[in-house]
Amino acid sequence: MFIEETIAAVVTPLGEGGVAIIRVSGSEAIRVAEPLFRGRRPLSGLKSHTLAYGHVVDPESGAVIDEALVAVMRAPRSFTREDVVEIHVHGGVLVAKTVLSLVLRQGARLAEPGEFTLRAFLNGRIDLAQAEATIDVIRAKSEAALKAGARALQGAFGAQVRALKAGLLRLTAEIEVHIDYPEHDAPEATYVRIVEGLTDARASLESLMRAAAQGSVLRDGVETAIVGLPNAGKSSLLNAMLRSERAIVTDVPGTTRDLIEAPFVLGGIPLLLVDTAGIRETADVVEAIGVQRTREILERAALVLVVLDGSRPLTAEDASLLHAVRGRTAVVVVNKADLEVTVREDDVRSLAPSLPIVFVSAKTRSGFEALEAAVLSVLGFDAAARPETLVTANARHLELIRRAHAALDEALAAAREALPYDVILIDLRRALGALGEILGEDVRDDVIKEIFANFCLGK
Amino acid sequence: MQTYEGGRYDVIVVGAGHAGSEAALASARLGQRTLVLAISLDLVAFMFCNPSIGGPAKGHVVREIDALGGEMGRHIDETYVQMRMLNTGKGPAVRALRAQADKHLYSLRMKAKLEAAPNLTLRQAMVTDLLVEDGRVSGVVTRTGAVYRAKAVVLTTGTYLGGRILIGELAYDSGPNHTQPATELAERLRALGFRMMRFQTSTPPRIDGETIDYDRLEEQPGDPEPEFFSYETTAPRPEPQLSCWLTYTRPETHAVIAANLVRSPLASGAIQSVGPRYCPSIEDKIVRFHDKPRHQIFLEPEGRGTREVYVQGMSTSLPEDVQIQVLRSMPGLERAEMMRPGYAIEYDALDPTELWPSLMTKRIEGLFTAGQLNGTSGYEEAAGQGLLAGINAARYVEGKPPVVLGRDQAYIGVMIDDLVTKGVDEPYRLLTSRAEYRLLLRHDNADLRLTPLGYEIGLISEARYRRFLDKVRQIEAERERLLTVRLRPDAETNARLAEAGLPPLENALTLSDLLRRPDVTYDALARLFPPPEPLPKAVREQVEIQIKYEGYIAKLLKDVEKQHKLEHKRLSPSLDYGAVYGLSTEGREKLMKVRPLTIGQAARIPGVTPADIAALIVHLEGRRTIEVGRHG
């Protein structure tokens, strides 16, 4: 902390409001944000203190994440008196987090709680009284973050990080012991063993990263649109689902998901209604596909539930709706299964060949298990990765996991080239350090403890 | 006891072990009138435990001592009986030299050096009292009534301080090797308010080398072409090197120990003091690692003029009769005659968070401490601290700021920072794994890291400094050559490469690019493309390491640069932590105890959180802002 690295964070409260702002501050801010932005001109060419319209893209895949307004504020005329880039995106949690993780991948470090304000103070932007007030904020925030982190560490995530760390620690000690005790008679860690150990550790890290990505779905929710013609039963379906499970408390520091954002949980997964302010609108209004608003809603949603009225034959509007969600992460929900069902599964399938189709009755609450299973399945949770087994990591954890992974990559490359032990250990210990940081432990002492705990040494 | 005035000095060094000798020589060489008081003048720089110096991290320290102008490096080069380079295949950072010493010669010659040093007076005396006036040390009193006065005092009390020996059921007050313990001084330090700890260590028996059956042992000879600790040593000792020998414990050995555990104060719990994990007694090894079928036992000669052999790996507090049985249970030692039994010793040490990074105590100005008194173990650790304590005592007398080595600069810096920042809960041993910048703190570059500083301090002679600068110039010139000479992928070049067994070039490359390939050594490269004049081995080695590991070195240097920003934010030693807004209770407590001198150091204190550091920075900057406001 407090060294002149470029830092980034989502500075608007997650999950509230219509706009999320990702702030990047530091001498590298523009370089870091540049590859993410597609606009009329590059960020480096923007005038200070102007807003530019464009899109945020994933620089690796080129995929568009969201449309965005981006502001560049050059030092010293910014809040921190450093170069600052602010990226304004739509307020959804997932979009904001995705943009943040892209920024971090470009080399920024996740800001510590209160760090922007602290920089503002250190650079003479605010006075001591304000800064002292900031200290309280920093402390409160770090305690909240600590608590949130501690909760995460109690679960499957913590267990996996601890196991991974233990494995790496063993490997490190196996190598270190022969460095500090060259004559020790334990078998020497061979390159084959080191490469094997590193490969295993990297694989576990990767599965942890995957699980954490799915886990963040658990924590942050899946942006979900419920679409269907009027009277298809969207509201009653929603109401039925709302009754089925209590609102959940999430891991995002300081936020308890209230009814606005994540009230409904399906199969253990919180679903966030897209355009929450307009639930009723979303639920009731979609009269004609092709309406700009509906298209936008569909575009933003990560999951679409298409509700059909099972008691009536398919209409042209139903057909164009189904056509519009082809290839999307979607489930077709045929409602009113308590009445005489006239919609034929084959007809639906011919319009949306790859989507699961479930028959439910909001009224009698039948078919909900099938709906849950279908939702889990389209979201990629199979039997081996049920939500309750998944890990929930926060942004800080994810950044550290990425750092550990990058370090292991380098250690592995060095080991494959049979570079000397001390060189391999540089990156191995970096990886260990990152995992230790997740757990809040000083790894340097751990390595020494591990050596003396496992090897009988002495002069 | 009637006292008398014994004389006035600039610096008094109490103790003449490995820490005391370095401290005294440094202080005297820096021009301070220096008095050394030792309990026994027959035991100057005596190796009470293993007759060996160096090894990983420890050997690095010896080279650092040498680069700073200390004595240990050239001294062991003059008195070794065996020299071995360890870890040769494990990377440049962890290669380490280790010597077996002629322990008696080592001691005698160090005494002679102390006797011969200008400005240095050597006396046999037991110090029983410290004179303190207005919070400053002003002298010492000896048991025989002499009062010596000085502006600075360096305490290096080793295991003499409150020493107590344990052998089986037997326990008695004693310094190391059955010498007089320093009991009054221990009480005096407690009375002055110092937080003290009770530590413990143990040593193995010595046996008669003539009664060892060497045919049954594995021989460990020295290197045929030995390297040296001192950058100034050029030629090996003329005498042939002596070998060490390896044997193992057997199930019978373990059975004897297990049957007699109750008679070992270390294993039975009769000793409550804290012993080192890294140097367990043989009984401890059997208990803690009972699955291990055998333990290594190294037999090390104690010198040329003695038949005594050190039984490394068998430190013990078992009773004498059991020690004999244990020894004779091992291959090659069936008829071994034990000449001295091993023993455990308890002693008093100071909580090193009582010290500033200069090794001066916070409680009493002008009082410095080094070695086992500071909670460390090992001759090299002691000597490294002794050198710095001696330098800083001399500088204190002259009114100069202390020399503090960074963690990126020297193992000695890592050690002292660990001691004064984190404290210790067991005797502290240096390990290479304690250094976060291990690849920078190499054995081969200690001179590059520290000789300029040694010269600036005044312990490196002009002549030596000029030789050093020549070496630096040769390294730079050769690096420059390798970085600039480009090879074209033409037939002639590729033919030459093929001759040396190297793959042909596809693109134009510099010699340094070629050297970066894992399969290319400097020597192979220099044979094909020789430098204008042949270069000494140390230069060739340096160029090779610097180029081959450039990427990793650069990566670490970037970390160092970040860390420096924190180390450059200084904290006042008298900072009132009660007035710092927003510190946590634990953080405030720890900061008040350690009183760190930089933000970097503060951040390393266990229990101080990033939020505490933020509060400290805000406090610091706030004050600065206010002051700037006032003055400008």
How much is the pLDDT for A144?
Answer: 64
- Check: CB of residue B15 under 8 Å from CB of residue B158: yes
Q: Find chain A residues with C-beta within 8 A of B289's C-beta.
A: 456
Q: Is the pLDDT of residue B631 over 60?
A: no
pLDDT at A142: 65
| pLDDT the model gives residue A282 | 44
| A331-348: average pLDDT | 84
| Better-scored residue on pLDDT, B290 or B42 | B42
The pLDDT score that the predictor gives to residue A274 is: 62
Computed over every residue of chain A, the mean pLDDT equals: 78
Q: Strand A109-110 to strand A64-73: parallel, antiparallel, or no bridges (unpaired)?
A: unpaired
Q: Could you tell me if B92 lies within 8 Å of chain A, comparing CB atoms?
A: yes
Does the distance separating the beta carbons of A139 and B611 come in below 8 Å? yes
Statement: residue B242 has pLDDT above 60: yes
Over residues B121-149, mean pLDDT: 98
How far A138 CA lies from chain B's nearest CA (Å)?
6
pLDDT at A389 over 60: no
Query: If we measure between CA atoms, which residue out of B372, B357, B415, B352 comes closest to residue B65?
Result: B415
Query: How far apart are the CA of B561 and the nearest CA of chain A, in angstroms?
Result: 10
* Chain B residues lying within 8 Å of A459, measured CB to CB: 49-50, 279, 312-313, 315
Would you say residue A264 has pLDDT above 80?
A: no
Q: Which chain B residues touch A450 with a CB distance below 8 Å?
A: none
Mean pLDDT, rounded, for A404-426: 94
Taking Cα atoms as reference points, which of B413, B442, B446, B375 lies closest to residue B201? B375
Residue B54 pLDDT: 97
A180 touches chain B (CB under 8 A): yes
Q: Is B611 on the interface with A (CB under 8 A)?
A: yes
Chain A closest CA to B84's CA: distance in Å?
11
Task: Using alpha carbons, list the distances in angstroms from residue B594 to A153, A242, A363, A446, B362.
Answer: 31, 57, 69, 22, 9
Q: Span A101-122, mean pLDDT?
A: 84
The per-residue pLDDT for A256 is: 30
Q: Any CB–CB contact under 8 A between A179 and chain B?
A: yes
What integer pLDDT is reported at residue B229 of this predicted model?
98
Q: What is the pLDDT of residue A93?
A: 66
> Tokens in use for B605?
């204190």
The answer to whether residue B582 neighbours chain A at the CB level (below 8 Å) is yes
- Residue B366: pLDDT above 90? yes
B572 touches chain A (CB under 8 A): no
Residues of B in contact with A136 (CB under 8 A): 582
Which element (helix H / strand E) includes A40? none
State the Cα–Cα distance between residues A307 and A229, nearest whole angstrom.
8
Query: Which residue is closest to A129 within chain B, CA to CA?
Result: B622
Note the pLDDT of residue A405: 95
Measured between beta carbons, the chain B residues lying within 8 angstroms of A1 are 610, 613-614
Of A142, A426, A456, the CB nearest to B285: A456
Q: Which of residues 85-114 of A touch B (CB under 8 A)?
A: 112-114
The Cβ-side half-sphere exposure at B594, using a 13 Å CA radius, reads 29
Nearest by CB to residue B518, choosing from A118, A419, A425, is: A419
- What is the reported pLDDT for A245? 41
Q: What is the pLDDT of residue A220?
A: 65
pLDDT band for position A393 (cuts 50, 70, 90): low
Where is mean pLDDT largest: A119-123, A257-261, B361-365? B361-365
- Confidence class for position A244, pLDDT limits 50, 70, 90: very low
pLDDT score at A281: 42
Min Cα–Cα distance to chain A from B292, Å = 8
Binned at pLDDT 50, 70 and 90, residue A295 comes out as low
Residue A236 confidence (pLDDT): 74
Write down how long chain A is: 459
Q: What percent of chain A has pLDDT over 90?
A: 23
**Cα–Cα distance between B419 and B397 in angstroms, integer?**
24
Q: Are the beta carbons of B582 and A132 separated by less than 8 Å?
A: yes
Helix residue ranges per DSSP H, B80-182: 103-116
Q: Are A263 and A248 in contact (CB under 8 A)?
A: no
- With bands split at pLDDT 50, 70 and 90, how would you rate the model's confidence at B177? very high
pLDDT for the residue B1? 79
Q: Is A86 helix (H, G, I), strand (E, B) or coil?
A: strand
Torsion of CA B294, B296, B297, B299, to 10 degrees: 140
Instruction: State how far the Cα of B588 lies from the Cα of B591, in Å rounded to an integer.
Output: 5
Taking 80 as the threshold, does the pLDDT of residue A426 lie above it? yes
Highest mean pLDDT among A152-156, A309-313, A338-342: A309-313
Least trusted range by pLDDT, from A122-136, A259-273, A289-303, B488-502? A259-273
Looking at the partner chain, which of A3, A183, A423 has a beta carbon nearest the beta carbon of B552?
A423
| B614 to A2: CB separation less than 8 angstroms, yes or no | yes
Residue given tokens 């200070």 in the structure block: A48
A-B CB pairs within 8 A amount to 149
Q: Which residues of A400-418 are buried (b: 16+ CB within 10 A; e: fewer)?
A: bbbbbbbbbebbbebbeee
Tokens read off for A340: 């005489």
pLDDT at A151: 63
A384 to chain B, any CB pair closer than 8 A? The answer is no
CA distance B69 to chain A (A): 26
Scan residues 392-421 of A and list those with Cβ closer than 8 Å to B. 417-421
For chain B, the distance separating the N- and C-terminal CA atoms, rounded to the nearest angstrom, is 62
Tell me, yes or no, if A451 comes closer than 8 A to chain B by beta carbon.
Answer: yes
User: What part of A 419-448 touches B (C-beta under 8 Å)?
Assistant: 419-423, 425-426, 442, 444, 447-448
CA distance B314 to chain A (A): 8
The pLDDT score that the predictor gives to residue A258 is 33
Cα(B301)–Cα(B243) distance, integer angstroms: 8
Nearest CA in chain A to B432: A180
Q: Taking CA atoms, what residue in A is nearest to B284?
A: A456
| Least CB–CB distance from A179: residue in B56, B296, B549 | B56
Better pLDDT: A20 or A257 = A20
A-chain CB neighbours of B611 within 8 Å are 113, 135, 138-139, 142
Whether A438 shows a pLDDT value over 80: the answer reads yes
Has residue B526 got a pLDDT over 50? yes
Q: What is the pLDDT of residue B474?
A: 97
Tell me the chain B residues in contact with residue A426 when contact means C-beta distances shorter than 8 Å: 438-439, 552, 555-556
Q: Tell me, yes or no, if B87 comes closer than 8 A to chain A by beta carbon.
A: yes
Q: Which residues pair with B130 in a beta bridge?
A: B140
Q: Considering Cα of B173, then B176, then B178, then B183, what sign does the dihedral take? A: negative
Q: Answer whether residue A247 shows pLDDT above 60.
A: no
Statement: residue B371 has pLDDT above 60 = yes
Which residues in chain B have their CB less than 8 angstroms from residue A407's CB? Answer: none
Residues B220, B243 contacting (CB under 8 angstroms): yes
Instruction: Check CB contact under 8 Å for A4 and B288.
Output: no
Kindly tell me if the per-residue pLDDT of B193 is higher than 80.
yes
Q: How many helices (H) and strands (E) does chain A have?
A: 15, 13
Q: Looking at chain A, which residue has its C-alpha nearest residue B610?
A: A1
A422 interaction partners in chain B (CB closer than 8 Å): 90-94, 432, 438-439
- What was the pLDDT predicted at A318? 83
C-alpha R_g of chain A: 26
Q: Which residues contact A305 (CB under 8 A, 6 or more apart)?
A: A224, A225, A226, A227, A237, A330, A331, A333, A375
pLDDT band at A450 (very low <50, low <70, confident <90, very high): confident
Alpha-carbon gap, residue B149 to B397, rounded angstroms: 13
Please tell me the least confidently modeled range out of A286-300, B428-442, B461-475, B536-550. A286-300
Q: What is the pLDDT of residue B431?
A: 94
Task: Choose between B455 and A188: higher pLDDT.
Answer: B455
Kindly state the tokens that stand for B550. Answer: 């450039």
Chain B, nearest residue to A181 by Cα: B56
| Closest CA in chain B for residue A126 | B622
| Residue bearing the bigger pLDDT, B106 or A353 | B106
- Rounded to an integer, the average pLDDT of A326-340 is 84
Q: To the nearest whole angstrom, how far is the Cα of A152 from the nearest Cα of chain B? A: 20
Name the residue among B315, B439, B566 with its Cβ closest to that of A3.
Answer: B566
Average pLDDT over residues B303-309: 97
| Residue B623: per-residue pLDDT | 63
Q: Which DSSP string corresponds to B347-414?
A: EEEE-GGGB-TTSBBSSSBTEEE-GGGGTB-SHHHHHHHHHHHHHHHHHHHHTPPPP---TTT-HHHH
Least confident of A125-129, B107-111, B600-604: A125-129
Distance CA B312, CA A184 (A): 13
pLDDT value for A233: 75
Which of A61-70, B123-132, B563-572 shows the lowest per-residue confidence on average (mean pLDDT)?
A61-70
